[in-house]
Amino acid sequence: MAEHNALGKEGEQLAATFLTQKGYEILEKNYRYLKAEVDLIVKKEGFIVAVEVKTRSTPEFGNPQDFVKPKQVQRLVQAMNNYVIKNDLDLEVRFDIIAIIKNKRGTQIEHLEDAFYHF
């Protein structure tokens, strides 16, 4: 596995642990629909939350959340629409980003709620 893929998988596990500690229930990991993949689908307090996890080893080229592009957002929205319909859910949907910087100096985790409204 390429080093960046390993870092990404590690970031997804860190994000899942982080969210569980904040009281979120993990419903799905790596949910796929057409060309989209939702890293985590979680639930808390009447919300179903699609979580995009972005992990980088350095902020040198930009913050991790800066790498979520409009086309990816569009795909994530379609995937979540499918998930809600398929599972007959009556919950409000929110889109969050977990931005992680992990390197030998440590790990920084930032949780951006309603992240797609901040672009």
Please determine, for residue 2, whether its predicted confidence score (pLDDT) is greater than 60. no
88-91, long-range: CB < 8 A, 24+ apart: 89/48, 91/43, 91/46, 91/47, 91/48
Please give the pLDDT value at position 119. Answer: 38
**Based on the structure, what is the number of domains in the chain?**
1
- What CATH number has the domain bearing residue 88? 3.40.1350.10
What does pLDDT average to over the chain? 87
Domain limits for position 87:
3-118
pTM (two decimals): 0.87
Band (58; pLDDT cuts 50, 70, 90): confident
Please determine, for residue 64, whether its predicted confidence score (pLDDT) is greater than 70. no
Segment 94-110 shows an average pLDDT of 90
